[in-house]
Amino acid sequence: MSDAPESLDRALEAALFAAEDALTIEQLASHLGDADKAELREALARLTQFYAPRGIHLVERGRRWHFQTAPDCAHLLRKERESLRTLSRAATEVLAIIAYHEPVSRAEIESIRGVQTSGGTLDVLMEAGWVKPAGRREVPGRPVIYATTPEFLRHFGLASRRDLPGIDELRATGMLDPVQEAFEAEMAESHDDGDAEADATPDQR
Amino acid sequence: MSDAPESLDRALEAALFAAEDALTIEQLASHLGDADKAELREALARLTQFYAPRGIHLVERGRRWHFQTAPDCAHLLRKERESLRTLSRAATEVLAIIAYHEPVSRAEIESIRGVQTSGGTLDVLMEAGWVKPAGRREVPGRPVIYATTPEFLRHFGLASRRDLPGIDELRATGMLDPVQEAFEAEMAESHDDGDAEADATPDQR
Amino acid sequence: MSVPPEGGTALDFGGTDAQDDDWRGIAATGEQDDDALYLALDGWEGPLDLLLELARKQKVDLREISILSLVDQYLSFLDGAEQLKLEVAADYLVMAAWLAYLKSSLLLPRDEQEDPSPEELALRLHLRLQRLGAMREAAGRLMGRDRVGRDVFLRGSPEGLRTDRKITWQVEWYDLVRAYGRVKTRNQPALHTVRDRQVMTLESALDRVSSMLGLTLDWMELRDFMPAGADAKLRKSAMASSFVAALELARTGRAELAQDDIFGPLRLRRVRGAVSA
């Protein structure tokens, strides 16, 4: 494969290597003289495979493509790099809640955490470019709702939100539903069983 | 070769990719846990060869190694995008005045238009390549005077400025309607004198 | 007393966000100085957080925890806090009071339970702890991924892709001419260009008239002084200048003028004895 790369592959390599940001297929197409998008997709797949065993990888994050170093080479590179600013526990928790529930209002975040969220916490996440306001919820008070950004996906190495660790299981077990909904579901279920409280709180007897 | 790259090759790829500057063999060696320099040189040679046919090249410049875009792909990094825009009314008027009266100074253009002309308008016309400064008028203040360019003629498909229609023709096509009375009276008089087009058709100078 | 609301209201648990990075464990209470408990409580993200941690100590699976023993742990934890700073710990005390109430309700005989039942309250608390636990775990897994700048790195010095925008201005021939017509229509009187034209100056008219007068003593019509073959414009000018020249010659006594009727031909002749210029 490496002997005679297709010219589209070479062009993609050059463009993605030189780009300062991850690029969407559309951006790539327009940059490469309106290349055919289906062909681009094929070429990207080819390149992803080509680079898979190497020290740099081609990855897709939130519909954007970029090159990055292979994760297992991290120890070689970390030395010279200042490590990331550590996020506070509050910030990581808020980030996770936004990512798994998005879009979500501050009140909803607080209801999950059981504490008020200081403005600084959301600020830190927005400054990092991982979270952004995403309109308002059409309920009384029209609270601002928040969502994650493509940069969030890129930073955490997620191709899309579907790749969030454990999201399928969390969804299946109702962990992403509001407490009220889960509560009603549980109550309904236990009523069906005709043995209301016993099932709901097995732990109290 | 691409199937199972040596781990040194992968490390080199990652290090060179992430580096902000080109790296010497010494820097690479210390980066990669004091790798053997002879081995490094071999690996660099291997990589150079590996990337030779691709869109990115590994190159040595002044004993420092770095990745760069393949020279024949360099043009991809720069894209020129053309966007069409309609010339504003003000700019069209200024262009017309220059075409009919050239060479004219900005003050003269303003006196003909009866409105102040922003510098930006002339800039647009010069950027479009239709107007250029044509020296200075030898009067107090020595104002810059402007004239049209060959590109102007080309754009409008004119063989020369003589092809611009004169006042008579403008009137015949109704382009001077509605005509103010004073204006009409004056024009009538100058027709009697037989030098009607003096102002209007620059070709008589 | 009702279940504490799920956030965002005045009755919220109201703990504060701890901005410090490390999660102080329960062991933190055992720290030496007077502020130990204060600091420890501040380390928790509110009472729910503390409850979650206590629950975790019970069992790995949050679904299996015992609310009753959780309540006991929480209350004894707070009891042990002798140097509790009340203003900081108000939320914790609210939670403690509510939990104490929940505990007694759960232990009471079941006959006259109000609505909602203590089991329902406990279930809600349970669900909340599960959800918070799930998110905390998710956050941990998220942070543990290969992160850009820590585990994977982007190109150190990308050349950058540049898009140079080039504007092509559009204007048609018609627009141009129309624009000129517009300007002309609007402002023509403002522009006056004086063109060179052929004229006869007063001096040359004076010379010409006086020298021609010198040739004869007969009356001549002013029209006869016009240069032969001159075009209309020059003739007009010559006529005007010659007329003024005739007046001047008459004023200085070198010529005399005669006109028989209004707009009739103007005649002039040399005054006898006058010396021509």
Per residue of chain C (277 residues), give pLDDT as tens.
444 444 333 333 333 443 333 333 333 333 334 444 444 555 677 788 888 888 877 766 666 778 888 888 888 877 766 555 555 577 787 888 888 888 888 887 766 656 778 888 888 888 888 899 999 999 999 998 988 888 888 888 787 777 777 777 888 878 888 888 888 777 655 455 667 777 888 888 888 888 888 877 788 888 887 777 778 888 888 888 888 988 888 888 888 888 888 888 888 888 876 554 4
Give the H/E segment covering residue A67: strand A64-69
Interface test with C, best of B175, B193, B201 (most C CBs within 10 A): B175
CA angle B107/B109/B114 to nearest 5° reads 95
Check residue B40 and give left, alpha or beta (phi > 0: left; psi -120 to 50: alpha).
alpha
| Residues A87, C21: C-beta atoms closer than 8 Å | yes
Partner-chain residue, chosen from B79, B180, B199, that has the shortest CB–CB distance to C191: B199
Do B136 and B144 touch, CB atoms closer than 8 A?
Answer: yes
Residues of C in contact with A172 (CB under 8 A): none
Nearest CA in chain B to C170: B86
Residues 6+ apart with CB under 8 A from A95: A87, A125, A130, A131, A148, A152, C139, C142
Sign of the Cα torsion A189, A192, A196, A201 reads: negative
Side-chain half-sphere CA neighbours of B53 within 13 A: 11
Cα C115 to Cα C112: distance, rounded to the nearest angstrom: 10
Partner-chain residue, chosen from C122, C141, C146, that has the shortest CB–CB distance to A201: C122
| Residues B5, A53: C-beta atoms closer than 8 Å | yes
Partner-chain residue, chosen from A69, A111, A200, that has the shortest CB–CB distance to C6: A111
Do C209 and C226 touch, CB atoms closer than 8 A?
Answer: no
DSSP code per residue over B38-59: HHHHHHHHHHHHHHTTSSEEEE
| H runs (alpha helix) in C108-172 | 118-143
Strands (E), B12-156: 23-24, 56-61, 64-69, 78-86, 104-105, 131-136, 144-148
Q: Which of C162, C73, C227 shows the shortest CA–CA distance to B81?
A: C162
Q: How far is CA B163 from CA B94, B157, B204, C129, in A?
A: 18, 9, 12, 86
Q: Which of A148, A99, A146 shows the shortest CA–CA distance to C140?
A: A99
| Residues C150, A15: C-beta atoms closer than 8 Å | no
Residues of B in contact with A18 (CB under 8 A): 69, 77
Radius of gyration of chain A (CA): 22
Check residue C149 and give left, alpha or beta (phi > 0: left; psi -120 to 50: alpha).
left
Count of CB atoms situated within 10 Å of the CB of C223: 12
Sign of the Cα torsion B34, B39, B44, B50 reads: negative
CATH architecture of A89-177: Orthogonal Bundle (1.10)
Q: Which CATH code is given to the segment(s) B5-70?
A: 1.10.10.10
| Residues B21, C166: C-beta atoms closer than 8 Å | no
pTM: 0.60
User: What residues in chain A have their Cβ under 8 A from chain B's Cβ atoms?
Assistant: 1-5, 9-15, 17-18, 30-32, 50, 53-56, 67, 69-70, 73, 76-77, 79-80
Task: Give span(s): CATH 1.10.10.10, chain B.
Answer: 5-70, 89-177
